[in-house]
Amino acid sequence: TLTMPSLPPQTETRRLRHAASNDLLTLEKLNALSRRICTAPPSIEEFQHQLNAILAQHPDPRLHLAGSVLAASSFAIFFLWDGLLAGGIAVLICWMERYLSPFCMNGVEFQFIASFLSGVSTLLLCRFGMQFHADKVLIGIIMLLIPGIMLTNSIRDILLGDIISGSLRLVEAILMAATLALGMMAAIWLMGGISA
C-alpha separations of 77 from 87, 108, 146, 164 in Å: 10, 29, 19, 40
- For residue 20, pLDDT over 60 is answered with no
At residue 173, the pLDDT reads 92
Apex 147 CA angle, 177 and 77, nearest 5: 95
Q: Identify the top-confidence range among 31-40, 137-146, 173-182.
A: 173-182
Residue range 48-91, pLDDT digits in tens = 998 898 888 887 788 878 888 888 888 877 777 888 888 899 99
Average pLDDT of span 25-37: 87
CA dist 67 and 94 (Å) reads 10
At residue 114, the pLDDT reads 92
At residue 131, the pLDDT reads 74
Contact at 8 Å (CB) between 98 and 19? no
Residue range 88-126, pLDDT digits in tens = 999 999 898 888 888 888 888 999 999 999 999 999 888
